[in-house]
Structure 1
Amino acid sequence: MDKKSIIGIVLIGILFFGFTIYSSRQQQKYQEELAAYQAAHPELTQPVVPDSSAVAAASVVESLGAATPDSTRLAREVAVLGDFLAAAKNAAPQEIVVENDVMKVRFSTGGGIVRSVTLKDYTRYGRQGERNEPIEMFVPESAKFDLSFFIKNGLNNVKVNTSEYTFTADPVVRTDTAQIVRMRLPVAEGAALEYRYVVYDEATPSRDYLVDYTVRLVGMAPYMANQSSIGIAWSNTSYRNERGFKNENMYTTVAYRVPGEGSIDDLSMSEGAKEEKISSSVEWIAFKQQFFSSVLIARDDFLYADVAYDTASPDSGLIKAFSATMAVPYTAQTEQYDFSFYFGPNKYAVLKKIDDAQGQSLLLDRLIPMGWGIIGWVSRWLVIPVFDFLRQYIPSFGWIILILAILIKIIVSPLTYKSYISQAKMRIIKPEIDALNAKYPKQDDAMKKQQEMMALYKKAGINPLGGCIPMLIQLPILIAMFRFFPSSIELRGQSLWWAHDLSSYDSILNLPFSIPFYGDHVSLFALLMALSTFGFSYMSYQQTASAQPQMAGMKFMMVYMMPVFMLCWFNDYSSGLCYYYLLFNLLTIAQTFLIRRMVDDGKIHAVMEANANKAKNKKKSKFQLRYEELMRQQEAQSRSGKKGTKRK
């Protein structure tokens, strides 16, 4: 053994000996402090005699000195939590049922939570495909709402999760317009956490689907540990309510609103799991399904939020498991938090009336996906008002959709007429266009041909985009209807002929197998819509191909592929939407035939010649002269460049 090894062994021995002496002194010091603390708190070493607030604990054991596992556990809980929380931890929960005209709410004293909500006016699809079960907003066993904070216990801080304790409940207080449920979680003598729920019965949907929820910290300040926030964890799992899992899942997500924003955000659609951390303050969070939502509203905003969902399997009877973790600010002066729950339908007339404490809209109506920009404006200011007006006088949704389609066709008819006139003019000048194509067959003359083509259009009074612009203007209306029908709860459960639910697909034949990109059923409305699309596309092609030869190459895509694509796409979509597009196509075909009978190509030709004669005598503007000069210069440069290349 060399000198270095001996020195190393000696040093290790010295360190070990020193650590042993230090540990023994620390242990002695700890025992002295523990003895002093127990002398100051004799209740930790003696059997606890519960008072009236700890009856539940007294019923478990007669003395904490009993040598049983339960008594040992209870003694430990009392030592850590105190008499009151230990009693609440071991008490049996009970349920309280409150209902109004639109919903039944079941509360549980276990955690002081809303355990289940049943909507009375709506039913869901059962496993047998029949709509005979009332809407349950979430699976009762999955319901969780937990407040977490720290309280002081001697030298330690103890974390309290309200979901682990049983509250005590007062009798339900009934007034003319509401029912009030109060629950308390005693923390210490004269200190308690109090929940107050208010279920309204005002025959006003925007109030009756709301449950106001107030959290009061009664005498809690002396017992609260030093902390800047109180945590909130909210989660539940929602049932599958609609006929098609894929379509319902597409509209099911977690949505939220940042205060002051004019729109809302969400996690978007996914067939798996998704999560997001929101570092800014949040006004409300919604567990949103296609037609129903559970919303938690913070009247003074959350500090932040972490939201997530996980998609269930299609055959589970469930749709998604939602979760949200938030926090609210806390100071020693905090006495109360005000929240509200919304458990109800995604109905525009109801959601748009829910305001904040200052009377400003919470924008809960944005939970209904109506589109962005001009598309959303068309939905909110045209489609929905007309739809709601017609519903007041017409009971049949088939007639309502037909009248809506006719009204929209009347509104856009000037654009359709203008588009047809533009196409008619193109047909009339087609011989002259063919002559220009024959005159300039070479690519080198493309610029000159284009110049003469524009001169021809101008002489005939034709805007080359005249046939496209009117159709583009109609596009927002078509997209608005595409967004409106699948998300309109008014269509839910409404039947029309063979379709039993206009909000879902209609099926006249269930296939024993699934066809890729199509599905396992045959939707007759989707099939009829595709056939009408074929008829309209064929007629449009015949009309435009004669005037615009470049359209000939689009025949396969326009006439054949488009209807097939629409059939596969809409087979799982709302039958009400397919019915509307079917009517729209049929009305467009009828309108086109009517315009053809009204419009005389000969008269249009005469007007075009008169305009051309006027254009000859009209002096060209400076812009036109400069444009023509620029075109000549570009053509000259192009030719000189090509000649130079050939010489080289």
Structure 2
Amino acid sequence: MDRNTIVGLVLIFVILIGFSYLTRPNEEQLKRIQEQRDSIARVEAERMALAAQQEKKDFELSQETDSLKPLSPTVFVQDSLKEEIITLENNKIRLQLSTQGGRIVNVDLKEYFTHDSLPLILWKADKSTFGLNFYAQNKQINTEEFLFVPNTTETVLNATESEKTLSLKLFSGENKYIEFIYKLAPDSYMADFSIRTHNMNDVIASNSSFLTLFWGVDMPQLEKSKDFENRYTGVYYDFLSDDVENMSTTSNEKETLSTKIKWVAFKQQFFSSILIAQDAFTDVALSSDISNEPGYLKKVYAEIPLAYSGNNNETYNMQFFFGPNSYPILKEYGADIELPKLVNLGWKWVAWFNRYVVIPLFNFLENHVTGNYGLIILLLTLIIKLVLFPLTYKSYLSQAKMRVLKPQIDEINKKYPKEKALERQKATMALYKRAGVNPMGGCLPMLLQMPILIALFWFFPGAIELRQKSFLWATDLASYDSIATLPFSIPFYGDHVSLFCLLMTAVNIIYMVMNNKNQPQNEQMKGMQTMMYIMPIMFLFIFNSYSSGLSYYYFVATLITILQTWLIRRYVNDEKLLKQIELAKTKPVKKSKFQERLEQMQKMQEQKRR
């Protein structure tokens, strides 16, 4: 990487930082924004207070009305009922449901295991909550407190497959009940879920305009690194007419969504529980809190109002998805409702490369190279490096041209001292123009490769295909590889040693040494080269806890780059290159329209000065 390349990258970085600094609001603007927020908050608080007062009045009125009705000892019939655990399962998932609350108490993904080879349970009975809240007979009802009556049916689809349906009814009297219906098809990660109210209009408070569906889970740690898994764990939701968003994964947060959403997901690094509306959910209240309990990541909770009209029969149809965050699988189950966007493929300007290039190519290799994911990553790297080889060659050639021109650049620098910087720059650019050399030629090919490098940085840590797949000493390519555990933890590094990370750092330093030999040497470049050696050391700390598949990819990619550089260096002869440059100088330089306009502007400016 030559000086101009480094300067170009530094300038781009400085421009971005400068732009963000210059465009940030000043103190007066911040004060005005804060005043607007405070004003909105006051209005919202007043609105909520008025709504609460009205709700209280309506409730008191309903109490007076309901007091005229005869009250039963209990709202729901519970005589002779006992808790039962009922299982619905197919070849992919096992759902355990309790008649206490009529809710799912365990979700087991049968094809997967935790990092320590235990069954992979997304929900646990004592770490989850699910049910309805509403008012009935002057009481706030929580369906989790009551026992439901179960009824299981099975529909035969063919000789080997059947669809299982579980009906759980909470009776309030003869032919009056709330019904939860769960239906599980064979070979599916999706379960249908419906809520029905039957003849409950004289039980549920007459002023009720909605029933509140609540759902909360303490999300268990499933992977080896709790801190790394936490980065990808949180609450995600899909705006009906917009895009997929998520709550903070690094801090506690509460949010009420006034816009309609299609689904809400409790997502972990490789697995998700998703509740999908038939039409849409509105005014959903969400919360996400980081858990301090060992073995758990976050406490997540959702409250979903379901519009209630007081009719004899009302039905709310939904679906649950319990499964892996696999891009092909999510695309199969919900391409039309943006489920694949649960897989974090990076920023929008790089996600397209993962979506349309890396994932299809990886899946193709996975289908044709079975079992060895280290070999799949190697082949993926080779294909990408071969496609990028023209850019690598162009970058090296530009650096070689700059190197052979260095003696002539030194003569210009001697001719024009630092005090005549403008004349020195004009003479240098004129030399570049005559020689047909683009000083940014080494930088632009590298910038074009950056989106690809960044895209793969996002792809590997979220690729469930690599989860618990071993290669050489790495037991899990989706997590870090550890060859030694330290008796202490080093800040920003951790308490283990990743060998693939060490190898990646070593080959990066070797590549820096080789590349610096290809650069024109001067005092300024020596200082920049020293700074460039710091980058691999920084990567050593950053990647130590990252996916070993990612470190392995960068290690192999850098090795291939070193080999390509060595081959190009043998092919490109500096003497022949200099002769080509000297020959190019003798040919007339065709000026572009932009250059002509620029020269005209410079001439006009000089005339004005005179």
Gaps of 5+ in 1: 1-32, 45-77, 126-130, 641-648
Match of 2:133 in 1: 148
Instruction: Return the alpha-carbon distance in structure 1 between the equivalents of residues 301 and 478 of structure 2.
Output: 28
Match of 1:401 in 2: 377
Q: Mapping of 1:418-429 within 5 angstroms?
A: 418-429=394-405
Match of 1:555 in 2: 529
CA contact (8 A) 2:259 2:283 kept: yes
Q: 2:456 aligns with which of 467, 477, 481?
A: 481
Gaps of 5+ in 2: 1-62
CA contact (8 A) 1:301 1:328 kept: no
CA contact (8 A) 1:108 1:114 kept: yes
Instruction: Return the alpha-carbon distance in structure 1 between the equivalents of residues 348 and 78 of structure 2.
Output: 56
Aligned sequence identity (%): 40
Match of 2:346 in 1: 371
Instruction: Return the alpha-carbon distance in structure 2 between the equivalents of residues 92 and 321 of structure 1.
Output: 30
Q: 1:293 aligns with which of 248, 255, 272?
A: 272
**Is residue 2:549 matched to residue 1:576?**
yes
* Structure 1 residue 553 displacement after superposition: 2.1
Give the letter for the 2:528 counterpart: M
Alignment: residue pair count = 541
Q: 1:182-222 deviations in whole A, cap 9, x for unaligned?
A: 11111233221111101111x3xxxx111110111222334
Q: Mapping of 1:160-199 within 5 angstroms?
A: 160-176=141-157, 177-199=162-184
Instruction: Return the alpha-carbon distance in structure 1 between the equivalents of residues 133 and 228 of structure 2.
Output: 37
CA contact (8 A) 1:353 1:361 kept: no
Instruction: Return the alpha-carbon distance in structure 2 between the equivalents of residues 410 and 37 of structure 1.
Output: 77
Q: Mapping of 1:208-219 within 5 angstroms?
A: 208-219=188-199
C-alpha spacing 1:366/1:624, structure 2 compared with 1 (3 Å): closer
**Is residue 2:96 matched to residue 1:106?**
yes
CA contact (8 A) 1:247 1:572 kept: yes
**Is residue 2:298 matched to residue 1:330?**
no
CA contact (8 A) 1:503 1:576 kept: yes
Q: 1:21-50 deviations in whole A, cap 9, x for unaligned?
A: xxxxxxxxxxxx99x999x87x76xxxxxx
SS of the residue 2:588 aligns to = helix
Scaled by the length of structure 2, what TM-score is found?
A: 0.84
C-alpha spacing 1:288/1:545, structure 2 compared with 1 (3 Å): farther
Instruction: Return the alpha-carbon distance in structure 2 between the equivalents of residues 305 and 550 of structure 1.
Output: 58
Q: 2:588 aligns with which of 583, 600, 615?
A: 615
**Is residue 2:519 matched to residue 1:544?**
yes
CA contact (8 A) 1:545 1:552 kept: no
Instruction: Return the alpha-carbon distance in structure 1 between the equivalents of residues 387 and 592 of structure 2.
Output: 36
* Structure 1 residue 264 displacement after superposition: 0.9
Instruction: Return the alpha-carbon distance in structure 2 between the equivalents of residues 142 and 550 of structure 1.
Output: 61
Q: 2:297 aligns with which of 314, 319, 322?
A: 319
Give the letter for the 1:353 counterpart: E
* Structure 1 residue 456 displacement after superposition: 1.2
Q: Mapping of 1:583-598 within 5 angstroms?
A: 583-598=556-571
Match of 1:520 in 2: 495
Give the letter for the 1:164 counterpart: E
* Structure 1 residue 491 displacement after superposition: 0.6
* Structure 1 residue 374 displacement after superposition: 3.1
Q: Mapping of 1:240-319 within 5 angstroms?
A: 240-261=221-242, 263-270=243-250, 272-313=251-292, 316-319=294-297
CA contact (8 A) 1:447 1:635 kept: no
Instruction: Return the alpha-carbon distance in structure 2 between the equivalents of residues 464 and 147 of structure 1.
Output: 67
C-alpha spacing 1:115/1:636, structure 2 compared with 1 (3 Å): same
Give the letter for the 1:215 counterpart: I
C-alpha spacing 1:622/1:295, structure 2 compared with 1 (3 Å): closer
Scaled by the length of structure 1, what TM-score is found?
A: 0.79
Higher relative contact order (CA 8 A, sep 6+): 2
* Structure 1 residue 583 displacement after superposition: 0.1
Q: 2:209 aligns with which of 186, 208, 228?
A: 228
Q: Which has the larger radius of gyration?
A: 1
Q: 1:122 aligns with which of 112, 115, 120?
A: 112
* Structure 1 residue 92 displacement after superposition: 2.9
Instruction: Return the alpha-carbon distance in structure 1 between the equivalents of residues 295 and 219 of structure 2.
Output: 9
Give the letter for the 1:340 counterpart: Q
Give the letter for the 2:445 counterpart: P
SS of the residue 2:587 aligns to = helix
SS of the residue 1:448 aligns to = helix
Give the letter for the 2:127 counterpart: S
* Structure 1 residue 635 displacement after superposition: 6.5
SS of the residue 1:370 aligns to = coil
Q: 1:290-338 deviations in whole A, cap 9, x for unaligned?
A: 111111111121112121122223x711111111112122223562111
Give the letter for the 1:373 counterpart: K
Give the letter for the 2:144 counterpart: S
Instruction: Return the alpha-carbon distance in structure 2 between the equivalents of residues 622 and 488 of structure 1.
Output: 49
* Structure 1 residue 542 displacement after superposition: 2.1
Q: 1:342-400 deviations in whole A, cap 9, x for unaligned?
A: 11111111111223xxxx61111111110122311111111111111111121211110
* Structure 1 residue 552 displacement after superposition: 2.7
Q: 1:78-131 deviations in whole A, cap 9, x for unaligned?
A: 34x44xx1527x943211012110121100111111110111111113xxxxx2
Q: 1:87 aligns with which of 78, 82, 93?
A: 78
SS of the residue 1:478 aligns to = helix
CA contact (8 A) 1:493 1:500 kept: yes
Q: 1:383-418 deviations in whole A, cap 9, x for unaligned?
A: 111111111121211110100000000010011111
**Is residue 2:437 matched to residue 1:462?**
yes
Q: 2:483 aligns with which of 508, 511, 528?
A: 508
CA contact (8 A) 2:258 2:283 kept: yes
